[in-house]
Amino acid sequence: MFRQTAMLLLLACFASQAFVHAEDKGHIQVKCEPGISILLDGDLKGVSTAEYGGLIIQDVPAGVHELRALKEGFAPQVKSVTVEKDRVAVVKLGTFIPSVGSIEIRTLPVECLITCPGIGVTNLKKADDPWTKSDVPVGKHEVSLMWNDKTLKMNIEIRNACRTVVTANFLKMEIGAVVVDPKAEEARKAEEAIPTVAKNAPFPLIAVSPGSFSMGSEKGSADEKPVHKVTLTKAFLMGATEVTQKQWIAVMGNNPSNFKGDDLPVECVSWNDAVEFCRKLTAAERQKGNLPAGMEYRLPTEAEWEYCCRAGSTTTYCFGDDEGRLGDYAWFSGNSGNTTHPVGRTKPNAWGLYDMHGNVWEWCHDWYADKYQAGGQADPVGPATGQYHVLRGGSWIYGGAGFCRSASRISCGPLNWLNIIFPDFGFRVVVGAPLTKQ
């Protein structure tokens, strides 16, 4: 009776997504200064004008959308907009904040004159090394350095939140510049630490290299389309298995699972619960000195999950298209005996990851969207907001072999009441760079 009730509730959760019909449309009115480029879900919708006091976007499908406003030389504004049928959603943009970086100038000899009109400097006497200036407007500027009767000039680029380092040698009459991105430097150091993090981790992690793959399926459900190229630019670590009950208890001090066993996957956990597990584990491992700055335990993005599930394959499953072989790799309704199973007992995929098909559904970081954005993407993190989060991989009970496909996806809300309802919602972790919206 418990399982029947749980599955009815699960089906109701999925069916609730159908309440918004494709023909339901509304409108968006953006109020802002003229000359602002407005993008909706990544697509350019127009440039604001004085006539409309901004921009009007008509016939927008009902639902949650990401609106991005761009002004050259300023940081973008990103807002979540909920559109309702036959209604106008009004979005008021705030003041745009200038994009700025910093400049650092090193010279030999140290003393020289600096001229750079674009940053308000003219014949400034340089006596210290390095000379620095912050809050420099983003863009291209000409820098002129003079020592005795010698002059060195070059055009430099200032990027947002980055430091441009100019190095000049009057003795050799050489000048050059490099842009230092603190976040990129942090990411590089974190990537170098991956082998050490894996060695010291409390459970097995698999190192995953950057790469590209085709995400989605033209043969699957509508929400698996369009197939599009995704490039993951950063290395990361993926849990070799789903998080077990033993691992969960060590971090959280409780066990919400319906089926009990140290090596069974933890289940009956909500998205919120999984995120809290990652937060606590990050804090604990950082305190032990096992986790460097620039890395954290977190849920995988949907793109990271499918990349790892496919493990280089382009077929229906990680092992090919033959559904008859699924039992070698997955616990699903056809072989589970109506229960979860200890992790790591089926065959792994080509990258050494177990149970990517079946056993329990696995929460992903992303909010759910009912279709993918077309075109190539780098390190996608999903919509800015939404009502449901994505689950991947299929489970021991629901939907059969079709839901265990590499491209298959479902969704449900992140609320905590889920942890007493669904005995097939679990997760696995990623160790990588913190996620930020593009």
Condensed to tens digits (0 to 9), the pLDDT of residues 226-280 reads 999 999 988 999 999 999 999 999 999 999 999 999 999 999 999 999 999 999 9
Question: Last residue of some domain: 76, 92, 108?
Answer: 92
pLDDT at 172: 96
pLDDT at 23: 62
Condensed to tens digits (0 to 9), the pLDDT of residues 416-434 reads 565 557 799 999 999 998 9
Residue at 6 is within a domain: no
Averaged pLDDT of the chain: 90
pLDDT at 426: 96
Residue at 64 is within a domain: yes
Residues 234 and 364 in one domain: yes
pLDDT at 9: 44
Residues 54 and 165 in one domain: no
pLDDT band at 18 (very low <50, low <70, confident <90, very high): very low
For the segment 29-48, the average pLDDT, to the nearest whole number, is 93
pLDDT at 2: 38
Q: How many residues does the chain have?
A: 438
Residues 207 and 174 in one domain: no
State the CATH number of the domain containing residue 253: 3.90.1580.10
pLDDT at 12: 42
Residues 55 and 203 in one domain: no
Residue at 13 is within a domain: no
Residue at 11 is within a domain: no
Residue at 294 is within a domain: yes
Residue at 80 is within a domain: yes
For the segment 151-159, the average pLDDT, to the nearest whole number, is 94
Q: Does 6 have pLDDT greater than 90? A: no
Share of the chain above pLDDT 90, in %: 72
Residues 291 and 408 in one domain: yes
pLDDT band at 185 (very low <50, low <70, confident <90, very high): confident
- Helix 245-252 to helix 271-287 angle (10° resolution) is 70
Residues 320 and 397 in one domain: yes
Residues 171 and 211 in one domain: no
pLDDT band at 75 (very low <50, low <70, confident <90, very high): confident
Question: Last residue of some domain: 66, 92, 118?
Answer: 92
For the segment 5-27, the average pLDDT, to the nearest whole number, is 52
Number of domains forming the structure of the chain = 3
Residues 239 and 383 in one domain: yes
pLDDT at 419: 55
pLDDT band at 98 (very low <50, low <70, confident <90, very high): confident
0.75 exceeded by the pTM? no
Tell me which residue range forms the domain holding 328: 187-432
Residues 55 and 138 in one domain: no
pLDDT at 245: 98
Residues 88 and 160 in one domain: no
pLDDT band at 315 (very low <50, low <70, confident <90, very high): very high
Q: Does 148 have pLDDT greater than 50? A: yes
> b/e for 142-151, b at 16 or more Cβ within 10 A?
ebbbbbeeee
For the segment 395-400, the average pLDDT, to the nearest whole number, is 86
pLDDT at 16: 39
pLDDT at 227: 95
Residue at 9 is within a domain: no
Q: Does 125 have pLDDT greater than 90? A: yes
For the segment 284-308, the average pLDDT, to the nearest whole number, is 95
Q: Does 183 have pLDDT greater than 60? A: yes
pLDDT band at 145 (very low <50, low <70, confident <90, very high): very high
State the CATH number of the domain containing residue 73: 2.60.40.10
Select, from the ranges 176-180, 353-357, 366-370, 434-438, the one with the highest average predicted confidence (pLDDT).
353-357
Question: Last residue of some domain: 133, 158, 180?
Answer: 180
CB 231, CB 211: distance < 8 Å: yes
Residue at 18 is within a domain: no
Residues 191 and 176 in one domain: no
pLDDT at 430: 97
Condensed to tens digits (0 to 9), the pLDDT of residues 189-237 reads 778 889 999 999 999 999 999 999 999 999 899 999 999 999 998 899 9
For the segment 383-408, the average pLDDT, to the nearest whole number, is 91
Residues 232 and 363 in one domain: yes
State the CATH number of the domain containing residue 125: 2.60.40
For the segment 79-100, the average pLDDT, to the nearest whole number, is 90
CA separation for the pair 222, 275 (Å, rounded): 28
For the segment 48-58, the average pLDDT, to the nearest whole number, is 93
